[in-house]
Structure 1
Amino acid sequence: MGLCWLELACVFAAPFSVHPVAATGADRPARKVVLIAGKKSHGPGTHEYEKDVKLLKHCLDSSPDVKQVAAEVHLNGWPADPATLDDADTIVLISDGSDRNEQAHPLLRGDHLAVIGKQMDRGCGFVAIHYTVFVPSKKAGKQFLEWIGGYFDYQDGPPPRGWYSKIQTATTTVTPASPHHPICRGLKPFTLREEYYYNIRFRENDPRLVPILTTPIPGEPAAQVVAWAVERKDGGRGFGFTGGHFHSNWKLENYRKMVLNAILWTARSEAPADGVRSSLPEM
């Protein structure tokens, strides 16, 4: 079920190291974040997956608010050695989706979906950004509903296109929807030009689901949820954000803060009261 904000309110009254040396024992950081970038498929300035994850690593490594967190970057949609996922506290994936070609989505290749499922079963966190949330309903929809709470449904809508979820590029004001949630710490409403995915497929009346960001969409009668979070029964935490189209949006402090807060939260390490401070690498 795709939920707008009004409906949800009713439900809830240095160089980048691609292969860092693994720490062990007492030397192991308290939290490990695995950042995975898919292969680029769009023009300059959009869907800059590699640049996105390297920027996030820089922010995590340099923030005065992030302590004992090791972030590592993996390219081409999957770690060269998947064993690095076995002790990850959260996995962040920014990649192509599967609506044009299922094999374009890293999790739909080989045993990747099952490997991630094993990590989710042990309580690992999962963050999916932008095009990553495009998955086929029958092959991965159930998993995404469980792991992060929702996905872009491009198969179960009306003809001729068959899309249930929607896309629109617009400049809007985005608003923190759940001010008391740790991901919303320090966030304020801000103006954002974005390729929004909305009318996301959520479970009906999912008690775990917490809206994080909402925004009015031109032509839609109610504000739409464009970022959300869940805490699973296995203890794992998930976060979905449909923004991420334009790489330049990382220049916005609130934009970075929300994603960094979410990464820490899904790794079971919470942001400070004013959110995670960050500085930008050269863009």
Structure 2
Amino acid sequence: MQVDRRSFVRRTAWAGVSALGFLSERHSNRLQAAPPAAEVPLRVCVWCEGTAKKSVYPDDIDGALAKYLGRRDGVNVVRARLGDPGSGLDDKTLDNTDVLVWWGRLRHDDVPRDRVEAIVRRVTAGQLGFVALHAACASKPFRELMGTSCEPGRWREDGQPEHISIKTPDHPIAQGIAPFTLAKTDMFAEPFKVPTPETVVLVSTWDQGETMRSGLTWTIDKGRVVYLRPGHDAFPVLVHPSIRKVIGNAVLWAGHRA
């Protein structure tokens, strides 16, 4: 079959366009099919004083929480204690931490001032999230971040039930949590002397009528801070499934992953 020059040019041009379209489609399909890059793990440090009762927490607070948090996808956990070199808060540790979970009750005054300043500096710069548990409301870093005494109105340690309701169910910290009761714990009561929180996630009540905002969040400069009230070391509160889940959710929120 004879083809004139003009027809030949038109046919070869169309073939080229079709080939380019086919190659472009194949390239697009390859891009769409490519697996997403793995998310960098969230680096969490669980810090405590090392003073918890062995009868309740055989591996102390850091051991109890690290074991649980380490099972969550995308989370790498290390443990640190006040008795470690640099009080467990040396610059290398802090620089390799995205979220610091803090449990303290008896030895607040033993935390060195320079370590407090190092923590606060990183939190306000957005380099470090801070999750304070139970009596850590009286810790030096938390008080420095809040700028207030952070004292509850009163407290007692008589092992009575604590009823925890969900004030803001759509907040990431409350995800997967329904109202629940801790069979034995201590009590903190309002007024809780902290700045107005960004969000009140949890509220606790006791049968004698006390109430306490027990899950609070703040954004301080560029950093996220969480306070969770439950966690007295005389009772196995931190092994309760709902408390563990709340702490895990708080870690993700403080680390900008939720």
Q: TM-score scaled by structure 2?
A: 0.71
Q: Distance in 2 between matches of 1:43 and 1:70?
A: 25
More helix by share: 2
Tell me how many residue pairs correspond in the alignment. 214
2:49 is matched with which residue: 35, 38, 43?
38
Can you give the 5+ residue segments of structure 1 that lack an aligned partner in the other structure? 1-25, 98-103, 154-163, 271-283
Q: Distance in 1 between matches of 2:144 and 2:138?
A: 12
1:233/1:87 Cα in 2 relative to 1: closer, same or farther (>3 Å)? same
Does the Cα contact within 8 Å between 1:127 and 1:239 map onto a contact in 2? yes
Q: Which residue of 2 aligns with 1:202?
A: 194
Query: What is the CA deviation profile of residues 231-276 of structure 1, one whole-angstrom value per residue up to 9, with x for unaligned ones?
Result: 2232x11111221114522342111111111111111112xxxxxx
Can you give the 5+ residue segments of structure 2 that lack an aligned partner in the other structure? 1-36
Q: Which residue of 1 aligns with 2:137?
A: 133
1:183/1:60 Cα in 2 relative to 1: closer, same or farther (>3 Å)? same
Does the Cα contact within 8 Å between 1:227 and 1:240 map onto a contact in 2? yes
Q: Distance in 2 between matches of 1:30 and 1:119?
A: 19
Q: How does 1:233-248 map to 2 (within 5 A)?
A: 233-234=221-222, 236-245=223-232, 246-248=234-236
Q: Which residue of 2 aligns with 1:231?
A: 219
Residue type of the partner of 1:119?
R
Superposed structure 1 runs of 4+ greater than 6 Å apart: none
1:166/1:110 Cα in 2 relative to 1: closer, same or farther (>3 Å)? same
Q: Which residue of 1 aligns with 2:3?
A: none
Query: What is the CA deviation profile of residues 109-129 of structure 1, one whole-angstrom value per residue up to 9, with x for unaligned ones?
Result: 241211111211221110111
Q: Distance in 2 between matches of 1:125 and 1:150?
A: 21
Does the Cα contact within 8 Å between 2:166 and 2:178 map onto a contact in 1? yes
Higher gyration radius (CA): 2
Query: What is the CA deviation profile of residues 53-85 of structure 1, one whole-angstrom value per residue up to 9, with x for unaligned ones?
Result: 22222222223xx22x21111123632643210
1:76 aligns with 2:82: yes
Q: Which residue of 2 aligns with 1:276?
A: none
The SS at the match of 1:186 is coil
Does the Cα contact within 8 Å between 1:168 and 1:197 map onto a contact in 2? no
Residue type of the partner of 2:135?
Y
1:116/1:165 Cα in 2 relative to 1: closer, same or farther (>3 Å)? farther
- Name whichever of 245-254 and 113-122 sits farther off: 245-254
Q: How does 1:1-283 map to 2 (within 5 A)?
A: 29-40=40-51, 44-45=55-56, 48=57, 51-63=60-72, 66-67=73-74, 69-76=75-82, 78-79=87-88, 81-97=90-106, 104-105=107-108, 108-123=111-126, 124-135=128-139, 143-145=144-146, 151-152=150-151, 164-167=153-156, 169=158, 170-192=160-182, 193-199=184-190, 200-203=192-195, 206=196, 208-220=197-209, 223-234=211-222, 236-245=223-232, 246-270=234-258
- Measured on the aligned residues, the alpha-carbon RMSD in Å equals 3.0
Query: What is the CA deviation profile of residues 142-186 of structure 1, one whole-angstrom value per residue up to 9, with x for unaligned ones?
Result: 52416xx98225xxxxxxxxxx44345420321111101100000
Q: Distance in 1 between matches of 2:48 and 2:236?
A: 17
Does the Cα contact within 8 Å between 2:52 and 2:60 map onto a contact in 1? no
The SS at the match of 1:151 is coil
The SS at the match of 2:168 is coil
Residue type of the partner of 1:88?
T
Identity of aligned residues (%): 20
Does the Cα contact within 8 Å between 2:82 and 2:111 map onto a contact in 1? no
